[in-house]
Structure 1
Amino acid sequence: MRTTKLETFMQRVDDRPRLLVRIETDEGIVGWGEAYNHGPDKALAPVIEYLFEQFKNDDPRRVTFINQKLIQQSRFPPGALGLAAIAAIDHALWDIAAKAAGVPVYMLLGGHVRDRVRVYCGVYSAPDPEEAVPAILKLNADYGFTAFKLSPYRRNLYNGRWGALCEEAGNYLGELRRRLPTDFEFCFDAHAKIYEPNQALQLAKALEPHDPLFLEEPIRPEHIPAWGALRQQMGTVPLATGESLYSRYEFLALLNARGADIIQPDICVVGGLTEMRRIADLADAHYVSVAPHNPMGPLATAHNVHFCAAQVNFRFLEYKFAKEASWATDPYIPVDGHLELRPDRPGWGIEIDESRLKQDDYIHWERIMATKPDGSTAYP
């Protein structure tokens, strides 16, 4: 079997651009992968098309060989765009390999260690309790969710006293605890907006009395020693991070610094399933669990389902509903707070309607740059 053709399709999932990759073989088997457009979004397709020349006519079932080949062919270590491109290719190759064998992808990983994958729902904001409580109860009633992710910021975090913002966040979690079932779990994503570690510690201490599931990415990812120091002072609040890290070497540095209780690598960022498993195994050796970052489309969720099904130290998967993704005819939908495996479907277990991809459905999106009261810029 040989790879013969690669195509990219610029699509949208709700208000975000998403890039799909299709790889064809001389035996008629087709594989699909989803790319993370986290850089200049239109720059990704040419990178993927360029990389195809490095493995055109190779046996696509040699997934690890091709993944390593694409990483090593670059003189300098690939970064955000390079590894996102490699991830999409890697996933299409796993799809082909599993379809050729007639099994789900997770069976090529040693089989599933769990029968279904637990998910938590990303709310991504901090709605008032009067709005949040009925919305959370409906998500529980409709899909069985018992874990939810919110923002800790109840207002503009650059205006007013920081201690007051932290107090408001703690009171907010306390109010949700008072109004909702005791077995519900709440985590908070600070989106790496906090510059000073001491401020992150203040926020953690405010949340701590109400038992948060974890505090995610409170500070910037670049200086690993700061994560180790922060973790040692955070008490019983689990510290989670990893969506902004790329390779197993960066994760190893984080783990060696004891900088996280839970790591959150993104399978579409780190170079694909091949590299994701290496990262997760490193974490397992440090008694650290894995909760993949997954704000993507239905195909990326499928990639994650198979990783999570086969990974021993998996904890839970982020899930985001896709309202506009017509190309995914049968996405994984939560049942009882879990995504069920599809053992009778080879590959990723999801069908792509190619007729919906005939025209690029591109939408431009970029983060809004935050501005402080003095006019200086801040992380969005």
Structure 2
Amino acid sequence: RDLLLHHPFVSFEHTFIRFIREAAADPDVTAIKMTLYRVGASSPIVDALIDAARNGKRVAVFLELKARFDEDNNVSWAHALDAAGANIVYGLVGLKNHSKVTLVVRREEGRLRRYVHVGTGNYNARSALQYTDLSLFSAREDLGADIADLFNELTGSSRPPQGLSRGALVAPHQLLPALLDHIEREVEYARGGKAARITAKLNGLSDPEVVRALYRASSAGVEIDLIVRGICTLRPGVPGLSERIRVISVVGRLLEHSRIYRFENGGTPIHLIGSSDLRPRNLRRRVELLVPVGDPENKALLNQALEMYLADSRAWDLQQSGDYVSRGAGSSSAQEQLTSGR
């Protein structure tokens, strides 16, 4: 089954970095493909990719040279990967690639099998100790096929990805309409008298079309709980507009960075995780990726995390005035619970 991990409460080094190092050394691995955004000045991940290329594996890396503040590091890593024999794609005109995805292809019993990692955080060993993020490891054939198609578009075309067909969602063309469809479906459930709810955790919410859709959903009876760390242009609690919307921000010792989207879907909840926030730059000017989480145990882990953050006794509640009111002094209680394993 799929494996879902919550970093840094579960070590990134002992999971993803170990995964990529073992793939680089495994004689049965034939190919490794990865997107890189902010990798830092030193990177055990890029070191492993260099080793993989030197070991004769097909290594393809989409390395975003326009990652702000990391341009010099990324140029240096691009030279090192190129020298090792990796295939480097440097970017798309007019877009940044902000997705966090890896594909490993391994020969097993006479056939090729795909292993996928999708994250919410940068492939950066240092920030993995300082940010909260999620990792999904999967060998599902549908997800593997979607990710293979994504890399084929990224490495074989000069245009941005047009869309995926097996459940994964990619910006800039597919993701926004799909999210709006999910919101509208909750509206239809609410109008039909069924339970309708949207719960999301993200870093920023400022896309006008999404904000308007959430207002419409609230007015139709959809209950909406949002955990938004940073910018939020939506105003909750406005009578007749957003009275069913609640927004909190969680601030703690660690930087909250994970993205989770949950739609009640008439009693069969849909969970998505990935790289995208709900800002115009994410939905319209970047390559972003959200993927479905289908395994019941992993869905339960996401539900538990969302409930823990929403109940954080030191969170900040956004008021309809745009001001934030603290629930209590100190660092995030949810982070303390997650750190202690409670």
**TM-score of the alignment, normalized to the shorter chain, above 0.5:** no
Question: Which has a greater percent of strand?
Answer: 2
TM score, norm. by length of structure 1: 0.24
Q: Normalising to structure 2: TM-score of the pair?
A: 0.26
